[in-house]
Every structure is written in C-alpha cells, then in structure tokens.
Amino acid sequence: MGKALIELSGIERIFYLGDSEVHALRQLELRIDPGEYLAVMGPSGSGKSTLLNLLGLLDHPNEGTYRLEGRDVTTLSPEEQARVRSERIGFVFQSFHLVPRLTAAENIALPMTLAGIDPAQRAVRVKQALKDYGLFDRASHRPNELSGGQRQRVAIARATIMQPAMILADEPTGNLDRATGEEVMRLLEELNSRGVTLIVVTHDTVLGARARRQLLMEDGELIHDSGKK
C-alpha cells in the first residue's frame, strides 16, 4: 500500500447544545488513498457534513489526529491551515457559493487572487478553465445571469483552479435538475479520472452508488465502508 492522502484516527467531534453533548463524530478511523472516489452517505444529522468540514480543515476535531499527505494538520496554526486549504483542497457546495458581485471569470480566479498569484498567470489559467468548462462566452457574466448548471460549473472551475489534491463536494447536485446534475457529476468524475481525489457527500443513493467506495454514516459513526479490506 502506498502513501495515504488522508488518515483519520480516533476523531471525535462534540457539539454542545445547551448542557447536552452531541457527538457529531465518534471514534472515526479512516484512510483515503490518493485518487480515490468516495461517497459519504447517511441521513441528515449523521455527521457526514461535519466529516467533510473536518477534512476541509474548516472544523477541528475535539480528539484524534488528521494526517493529510503524512502531515498532522490538526496542530497547524490557522494561517497554515488556510494555506493548506488554498493549495490542496477544493470545495464544491450545494448552493454554489459564488460571490454575486464578481463575474464568472473573477469568481474562478478568486482562490488565485487570495493566494496572491500574479495577474498574468491568473488570466492564463482562468482562460483555460473557462474553455475546459464550456464557460468561455459566459466569462463576464455575473452569477445571477447564469443557469444553475453554469453556476456549478463556475464553482467547480474555482475549486480546481489551484490544482488541489482533493475535491470536497457537499451535495453538488442538490440544487440542480437531473440532467444538469448528471453533467456536473460527469465533470467531477472526469477530474477524478485525472487523479484528483473526489469526496462527495450526498444522501442520494443513486449518486452515491456511482462512487468506487461508499461510506455510510449514522449518528456520527461509520457503519459501513465498502472499501474496507
């Protein structure tokens, strides 16, 4: 077995609601290799979104360690974690999360802008991304002038523009009709086929079944892992 991309061990995530404790994640052990295609499924409140946030370094475990590419990222400072997010992780959200006042091109360029990449290089990469995602004639449109599918394509282009090691997608087709959802999934799977690790959170079993490995969660626990050897 080669080097793991993600290694979670003994992860606990506890939320406090009033004086009651909610275990969003319990004793989670997980190993994901580079290039895998995972679907995390389960009913709402099962902890799948918490897991995704944790993997994306947006949330911190109360217990346990998270090793990303062999490096313990739970102990990193917020600035270093931001850098890991910037360089290694791409997010795709159910509600797209585009900045409404920026054009499609500017939205795609946003991670590079934040990372301080110089404008000439930004322009080249955005142009390529617009071409790759069929958005070339939509470059100067704002999100409210785009269809749902186009918006999500912009979001995917944005998630991949920094060439991350993994894409974390939270219900990427939740706000789309079947046809556009299919198209978006095909784009994501195509990325995966080029070596990007793809982790999709969904409660759609049909969508989940497309993944090569399924994780089933319930009450913060991993109750089924199809890839477990």
Residues that bind other proteins (CB under 8 A): 53, 56, 58-59, 78-79, 82-83, 85-87, 89, 91, 93, 95, 97, 99-102, 110-111, 113-116, 118-119, 158, 162
CB of 171 to other proteins, least distance (A): 13
Distance (Å, whole) CA 178 – CA 54: 29
Of 91 and 133, the one with the shorter C-beta distance to other proteins is 91
For residues 47 and 177, give the distance between their C-alpha atoms in angstroms, rounded to a whole number.
26
- To the nearest whole angstrom, how small is the minimum distance from the Cβ of residue 123 to other proteins? 13
Both tokens assigned to 84: 């890991």
How far apart are alpha carbons 127 and 60 in whole angstroms?
36
Alpha-carbon span 158 to 217, nearest angstrom:
29
Nearer to other proteins, 29 or 87 (CB): 87
Residue 194 CB partners (closer than 8 Å, separation 6+): none
Handedness of CA 209, 215, 220, 222 (dihedral sign): positive
In whole angstroms, the minimum distance from the beta carbon of 170 to other proteins comes to: 9
Min dist. Cβ of residue 226 to other proteins (A): 27
Name residues whose C-beta falls within 8 Å of residue 113's C-beta, 6 or more positions apart in sequence. 106, 122
Nearer to other proteins, 130 or 162 (CB): 162
Find the angle CA(125)-CA(131)-CA(132) to the nearest 5 degrees. 85
CB of 229 to other proteins, least distance (A): 32
Q: Which is nearer to other proteins, 97 or 213 (CB)?
A: 97
Cβ 2 to other proteins shortest distance, Å: 27
Say how far residue 71 (Cα) sits from the centre of its chain.
Answer: 19
CB 9 within 8 A of CB 29: yes
Q: Considering the complex, state which of residue 39 and residue 54 has its C-beta at the smaller distance from other proteins.
A: 54
Nearer to other proteins, 101 or 186 (CB): 101
Distance CA(192)–CA(181), nearest Å, equals 17
